[in-house]
Amino acid sequence: MKLYYFPPSPNSRKAHIVAVYLELPLELKFVDIQKGEQYTPEFLQLNPTGRTPVLQDGNWVIWESAAIMQYLASQVPNSLWPDNVKIRTEITRWQSWELVHWGPACQSLQYEKFVKQILQEGDPDPQIVERATKAFHKEATVLNNHLAKHKFLVNNTLTLADFAVACDLTYAVPAGVPLETYSNIRNWYALIEQLPAWQKTASQA
């Protein structure tokens, strides 16, 4: 299997970390989205949306990180994606929430307050920061309350849901994402940070 990815991207990390955690053989293909490689005709054949990550298994290609995570985790029996329809539905629920609500809020804040400066794309836009901060607090409250009663998001064990949600905090510290009042999130995130798979998928960029 080949994973087309951009290592600094939280969406790419979501796919990569599953393969690393499960020790799946994977050929990594670096796509430099800062150079526009996601818009080459060859890449657009793989993913017409022009985004990473993309997984290729033989002639079969899949894009969208949540789908890739589930496919990778279906290769071997494991507790990240257990063979139980209710647990899988709960995991998919958190992955859906992550893609639509949590991810955009976190990524917008981290882009404005950190990535933008790294890429020399100017100062944070105060209006976007204000909007993203408000959205972040709304979703963080939901996550923090859930984690008050659960060590992990689903099934009291590490699953794809934790990886999906945690990857969006990749730049939380340098971006100053306001996690101070969310002790349950911080404790849970500290558990994820200790995983060798987390450390192995940290971008050097």
Binding site for ligand GSH (CB under 6 A): 6, 9, 11, 33, 38, 50-53, 64-65, 99
Closest CA to 4 of 53, 51, 50: 53
Closest CA to 187 of 151, 139, 159, 161: 151
**Which residue, 40 or 79, has its beta carbon nearer to ligand GSH?**
40
**Which residue, 53 or 158, has its beta carbon nearer to ligand GSH?**
53
**Which residue, 19 or 144, has its beta carbon nearer to ligand GSH?**
19
**Which residue, 7 or 82, has its beta carbon nearer to ligand GSH?**
7
Query: Whole-number minimum distance, CB 78 to ligand GSH, in Å?
Result: 21
Q: How many CB atoms lie within 10 A of CB 85?
A: 8
What DSSP state is assigned to residue 46?
A: H
Query: Whole-number minimum distance, CB 110 to ligand GSH, in Å?
Result: 11
Give the whole-angstrom CA distance, residue 17 versus residue 21: 6
Query: Whole-number minimum distance, CB 28 to ligand GSH, in Å?
Result: 15
What does the angle CA 148 – CA 153 – CA 156 come to, to the nearest 5 degrees?
85
Q: How many CB atoms lie within 10 A of CB 48?
A: 9
At 176, is the secondary structure helix, strand, or coil?
Answer: coil
Query: Whole-number minimum distance, CB 99 to ligand GSH, in Å?
Result: 6
